[in-house]
Amino acid sequence: MLIDKKRVKRNKALDKFFRGFFMAMAILSSSFIVIIVLFVCAKGISPFLPGYEYGQVDLISFLTGSIYRQDQGIYGVGFIIINTLISAFLALVISFPLSVLTALFIAKIAPKKLSAAMQSVVELLAAVPSVVYGVFASGVITGVVEWIASLFGITTFGGSSLLAVVLLLAIMIFPTLTSMSITAIRAVDPNLEQASLALGATKTQTNFKICLTAAKSGIFAGAILGLGRAYGEATAVAMVAGNKLFGPTFNPFDITRTLTSTMLAGLKETTGLDYDIRFSVGLVLIVVIFFSNWILNMVKKRIGRNSVA
């Protein structure tokens, strides 16, 4: 007899145990997220509640305010939200076409060896810690910005500027966008390419009209991830933003202030309201990212209807 009844019973018990074990793990890890959000919410909301120990802050003027001065106790993040949206969005505008075309080259055009080498470079870029990007930005990008500004006869604050933030973020989200796009383009059914070539389309026509169209949903998913990174990047951004006290900043050569740089600047040297309010700013950031992702996902659904990857 092959089937040992005892063994069957034991296997069943094991099965049950592992199912429970995996579930416990899943609950544990997802509960971290819940705990973090709850904690940030509780801390972040407290300054707006009556009876707050350092003096209640008005929620409306906090959300719509255009001045942020710790020294005077004025906290308005309205302009900072706009700054954050502008810098992340502009970074995406610069990085998106570059990444997609690079991905197309790596996935479809480059010879095998070059393609493999370039892909490892892209992956390496994704692994560089953000603080390293930050020192690069404050050492190099600011210099470039200063030079560009001097061409227009403008003086900058040592190169720290909206433009520097945008360029930095564009570089930082490039690896994410590119890797996602490569994956999406590689996932396109080779039969579609063959059909296109068999119809007398050139390689280039096939790459643009078939590969990119079929992969657009995956490419867009990369854009969403990249934008998320651009919103959330703190260390490097704080190193070149300049933390302006009022705004919003539309002039690319003027210093700016993002939600993340606001949270980070001087975090360790402060207490009381100025400390607590950073949780409120963090909460605003979470909400901004949530809304932006929600909108982009709707757009993705619309444009992705005819996509296969």
Partner 1 sequence: METCFDVKNIDLFYGDKQALKDVNMEIYKNRVTAFIGPSGCGKSTFIRCLNRMNDLIEGCKVSGEIIKDGLDIYSPKQDIVDLRTRVGMVFQKPNPFPMSIYDNIAYGPRCQGLKDKKKLDEIVTTSLKQVALYDEVADRLGDSAIGLSGGQQQRLCIARCIAMSPEVILMDEPTSALDPISTSKIEDLCLELKKDYTIVIVTHNMQQAARISDYTAFFLLGEVVEMDETDTIFSHPKDKRTENYITGRFG
Figure out which of the listed residues 148, 149, 201, 225 binds partner 1, where binding follows CB under 8 A: 201
Q: Which is nearer to partner 1, 118 or 308 (CB)?
A: 308
Under rule CB under 8 A, residue 191 binds partner 1: yes
Query: Which is closer to partner 1, CB of 111 or CB of 153?
Result: 111
Q: How far is the CB of 68 from partner 1 (least distance, A)?
A: 48
| Contact status: 195 vs partner 1 (CB under 8 A) | yes
Does residue 114 interact with partner 1 by CB under 8 A?
no
Among 34, 124, 189, 251, binds partner 1 (CB under 8 A): 189
Exactly one of 30, 64, 202, 251 binds partner 1 (CB under 8 A); that residue is 202
Contact 95/173 with Cβ under 8 angstroms?
A: yes
109 near partner 1, judged by CB under 8 A: no
Half-sphere exposure of 209 (CA within 13 A, CB side): 13
Sketch the per residue contact string, 227 through 266, with partner 1: x for CB under 8 A, - otherwise.
----------------------------------------
- The alpha carbon torsion through 184, 190, 196, 199 (nearest 10 deg) reads 180
Is 111 an interacting residue with respect to partner 1 (CB under 8 A)?
no
Candidates 205, 266, 291, 303: give the one binding partner 1 (CB under 8 A).
Answer: 205
Under rule CB under 8 A, residue 15 binds partner 1: no
Stretch that binds partner 1, among 101-109, 131-139, 191-199, 291-299 (CB under 8 A): 191-199
Read off the tokens for 210: 């078939």
d(CA 136, CA 130): 10
210 binds partner 1 (CB under 8 A): yes
Binding residue (CB under 8 A) for partner 1 from 209, 251, 266, 272: 209
Of 215 and 286, CB closest to partner 1: 215
* Beta carbon of residue 238, minimum distance to partner 1 (angstroms, whole number): 43
Please give the structure tokens belonging to residue 23.
Answer: 């579930």
Shortest distance (Å) from residue 186 CB to partner 1: 16
Return the range that interacts with partner 1 (CB under 8 A); candidates 60-68, 171-179, 219-227, 299-307: 299-307
Total residue count of the chain as it appears in this document: 309
Which residue's structure tokens are 């910005």? 145
Q: Is residue 305 a contact point for partner 1 (CB under 8 A)?
A: yes
Among the listed ranges 66-74, 174-182, 288-296, 300-308, the one in contact with partner 1 (CB under 8 A) is 300-308
* Contact between 199 and partner 1 per CB under 8 A: yes
Chain contacts with partner 1 (rule: CB under 8 A):
189, 191-192, 194-202, 205, 209-210, 213-214, 305-308
